[in-house]
Amino acid sequence: MGNWFGHGTHGAVLGLWSSCASVGNILGTMIASHALLYGYEVFFTIYDLCLRVQCFIIVTWQFCRAPISAFIPTFQLLTGLVERPKPVGFFRAWLLPGVLSYSLAYACLKMVNYSFFFWLPFYLHNNFHWEEAVADALSVWYDWGGILAAVLAGVLSDKCRSRTPIVVAMLAISMGALFAYAKSPKDIVINSLLMAVTGFFIGGPANLVSAAISADLGKAEEIRGSAEALSTVTGIVDGTGSIGASVGQILLPVIQNSAGWSSVFYMFILMIFLTVICLLPLMFKEIRSRRRIHYEALPEDDNYVQTSVASDSEPELDSDQSIRSLP
């Protein structure tokens, strides 16, 4: 994806592309809520057919890795494959700027995001005693909020040429959204609205970190031009996030059974807080980098001062001469 679009549109394009997971959650939830009425066999049969169609498309269609590869002969492409740079090592990839911080941050963030994916219908049914079909239908509002946020945050990050401050700001707001949703009344409209707001400020940053920011990390100076390095960095960030998500699936039922749903939401707020803590050093680094680039773009101080003095002194000489010429 990054090869087909410029760096200035990475956020918007990859933000939209990363929302495919949320679209899959919406479709899967809607299919499951209707197919389960006919038994689990129908449910798994539908998904099996969908996977077979997707595999057929991927295998039969010849996707190009980059626009230029569509016009290069096969022999040159094979030669290019042989001359690929040496892959970056796994442990060396961890030492690249930002990889460790984003990986730990995504582990905490993905724990919260996937907990909503898997447990939100059960929470609505168990806490508000709504029917399972109603709970499944309402839970998709979280995904709708995440889709909208991924696109808007991606576009905004492209305009600002910086992603981490936007992610940190959205996550800071999400802590208030989580607290508000934990206190949501038993009203379908209010609950759906708060759910969409929560998905906006949690799902959006999660999609942005997993796609656009991972691609940006793989463009570091040390490994620029290496597709293998980009794959390694993306795998580290997403894999660490999956570890955090799996830990969350173990902790959530334990906390819920021992302390109730309120404590579960407090755990979510704590995880978001830890995510922000991991991202703060990178945010300050990006801000300082943007300021340095802005200052370097200005004219040099000496030339600028000399030009200013010269331009200011000429009118003064003209005015003195005009005064002396008076009778």
55 lies in some domain? yes
Whole-angstrom Cα distance, residue 150 to residue 152? 6
Around 154, how many Cα atoms within 13 Å sit in the side-chain half-sphere? 31
Instruction: Please report the pLDDT score of residue 290 as a whole number.
Output: 73
Burial of 32 (0-12, 13-18, 19+ CB in 10 A): middle
Query: How many helices, marked H, and strands, marked E, lie in the chain?
Result: 13, 0
326 lies in some domain? no
Whole-angstrom Cα distance, residue 184 to residue 141? 15
Full residue range of the structural domain in which residue 284 is found: 12-292
- 89: three-class secondary structure by DSSP: coil
Whole-angstrom Cα distance, residue 122 to residue 78? 51
Whole-angstrom Cα distance, residue 279 to residue 213? 12
As a dihedral over the C-alpha atoms of residue 22, residue 28, residue 34, residue 40, rounded to 10 degrees, the angle is -150
Q: Report the chain (327 residues): mean pLDDT per 10 consecutive residues.
A: 63 74 81 76 84 86 58 48 62 82 91 92 92 88 90 82 86 95 93 95 85 64 64 84 93 94 95 94 82 59 44 42 43
Q: How many structural domains are present in the chain?
A: 1
Contact partners, residue 270, CB within 8 Å, separation at least 6: none
Give the long-range contacts of residues 49-56, CB within 8 A, separation 24 or more: none
Whole-angstrom Cα distance, residue 158 to residue 11? 6
CB 175 within 8 A of CB 68: no
Instruction: For the chain, state the CA radius of gyration.
Output: 26
114 dihedral zone (left: phi>0; alpha: psi -120 to 50; beta)? alpha
Burial of 324 (0-12, 13-18, 19+ CB in 10 A): exposed
316 membership: H or E segment, kind and range? helix 301-324
Name the one residue in this structure whose structure tokens are 């409209």: 189
Instruction: Please report the pLDDT score of residue 282 as a whole number.
Output: 83
Residue type, 138: L
16 lies in some domain? yes
135 lies in some domain? yes
134 lies in some domain? yes
193 lies in some domain? yes
Instruction: Please report the pLDDT score of residue 309 as a whole number.
Output: 40
Tens-digit pLDDT profile for residues 167-197? 899 999 999 999 999 999 999 999 999 999 9
Task: Say which DSSP state 210 is in.
Answer: I
Q: Say if pTM beats, i.e. exceeds, 0.85.
A: no
Instruction: Please report the pLDDT score of residue 327 as a whole number.
Output: 44
35 lies in some domain? yes
325 lies in some domain? no
Whole-angstrom Cα distance, residue 262 to residue 250? 17
Whole-angstrom Cα distance, residue 286 to residue 63? 34
- 184: three-class secondary structure by DSSP: coil
Q: Report the CATH number that the domain containing residue 93 is assigned in CATH.
A: 1.20.1250.20
Instruction: Please report the pLDDT score of residue 18 as a whole number.
Output: 74
